[in-house]
Amino acid sequence: MRRPATAPVGRRPTRTFVSLTGPAGNIGDALIRRETLRWARGTSDELIAYTGDAPDVWLRQLGIPTGTRVLRGKRSVTKWLWLIASSPRRPVLVFEAGEVPLGPGNGLRELVFLAETIIVRLKGGVVVRPPRGIRGTSRPALWLHARAARASQIALWRDATSAGLAGGSRVAPDIGFAAGIRPAPAAGERSDMLVSLRGNRPMPDGAWIDAVRSVAEQHGLRVRAIVQVREDEDRARELAHALGGETELWGDRDPLAHEAVLRDGYDSARLVLSDRMHVLVLAALSGAVPVEAVPNPTGKIAEAFHTIGYDDLSVDVANAGSDTIAAFLSTQLSRTGELAARVSNAADELDDLEAVARGTIEAARA
């Protein structure tokens, strides 16, 4: 997938490097990597993407353009580093958006990322880190990551906690909010309540089940258990059975086709209940009210939505009665106007930040 650089006569070609790893079975990860790619496209004569061990379908999910030099697998890391080191002056390095694991065992990887950052800066290039969140911390991984972030011209964080851990200052909306605001049907035209929960957490208790069923019945909503991550399919079946609802499984559907089905589903939903952040981001882009009502929520969703000014969507329902849970869910249904304003502002801010990144690259090459 390589095309020769097309620099004007008399000017050395330029290169942009972008990291786009991720599992093909996760629509949310594909979403934020696709938006990362959008920040990188058109910034150089040659685009070089590292996609890890991702299969061919991942390249289609992201829309990697024809002519991109794609490096895949751990064996290509050495080639990636060599291409950065041997790059012409003023290269661009764009790290992928999303979670950054900094737990034990991540120190060597962060050392490599720091080295990449230093090489690009020494060559007069630009390093861009789109909005990211830190997961797990240990030394030296956090120390190395913080140094690399500070050496980057643009380093953005999707929540204040992550920014504080890295010593950063710029908090920005999760890049998923740039994935396109959908035309929003009025609440009265929406007929569904969508539910999507992680399969690797305990099944909700009876109080939760009773609350969700009662709210759906009270507001005339059809319950549908959906799957945005392949590993959640068994949980979706369990939820549909417990709630007396329907399922929207992934099955053998092509990932892009399944993403389209999901987004159509969010368009018809009044409320989307999930503990997966990008389920709720896509729901919000469709005008469906996002809610995290689960036992012991991690705080990640609440913090990311706090960044766009949308609070109180998350509640810990551990030991809560069905009436309490139902009251919370019903209250959320009235927030569509507030949600639309916050999501629109987030999308505009991300557009501005992309423009800043492109302007920084142009200035470095002027």
210-228 pLDDT, tens digit per residue, is 999 999 999 999 999 999 9
User: What's the full length of the chain, in residues?
Assistant: 366
Identify residue 89 by its one-letter amino acid code: R
pLDDT tens across 111-168, in order? 999 999 999 999 999 999 999 999 999 999 999 999 999 999 999 999 999 999 999 8
Q: What DSSP designation does 21 have?
A: -
Q: Which two tokens stand for residue 36?
A: 């990362």
Q: Is the pLDDT of residue 313 over 80?
A: yes
169-188: average pLDDT: 93
CA-nearest of 208, 214, 235, 236 to 318 is 208
Q: From 179, 292, 197, select the one nearest 238 (Cα to Cα).
A: 197
* % of residues, the chain, pLDDT over 90: 91
pTM reported for the whole predicted model: 0.94
Q: What is the pLDDT of residue 169?
A: 84
Between CA 349 and CA 183 the distance in angstroms is: 19
**Which of 165-169, 196-200, 343-347 has the weakest average pLDDT?**
165-169
Reported as a pLDDT band with limits 50, 70 and 90, residue 3 is very low
In angstroms, the CA 342 to CA 335 distance is: 11
5-56 pLDDT, tens digit each? 455 545 678 999 999 998 889 999 999 999 999 999 999 999 999 999 989 9
Label residue 1 by pLDDT band (50, 70, 90).
very low
> How far is 156 from 131, CA to CA, in rounded Å?
4
Q: Which of 228, 179, 127 is nearest to 346 (CA)?
A: 179
Can you tell me whether residue 171 is helix, strand or coil? strand
CA distance 258 to 252: 9
Res. 4 pLDDT band, cuts 50 70 90: very low
d(CA 203, CA 236): 10
- Residues 328-340 have pLDDT tens digits of 999 999 999 999 9
Tell me what pLDDT residue 6 has: 52
Question: Which domains, ranges and CATH numbers included, belong to the chain?
Answer: 15-178+346-365 (3.40.50), 187-344 (3.40.50.2000)
* DSSP class of 134: E
Question: What count of other Cβ atoms lies within 10 Å of the Cβ of residue 281?
Answer: 27
Are the beta carbons of 328 and 315 closer than 8 angstroms? yes
Beta strands in the chain (DSSP E): 15-19, 46-50, 69-71, 92-94, 98-102, 126-137, 154-157, 192-196, 222-226, 246-248, 269-274, 289-294, 314-316
The reported pLDDT for the residue numbered 185 is: 87
Whether 66 has a pLDDT exceeding 50, the answer reads: yes
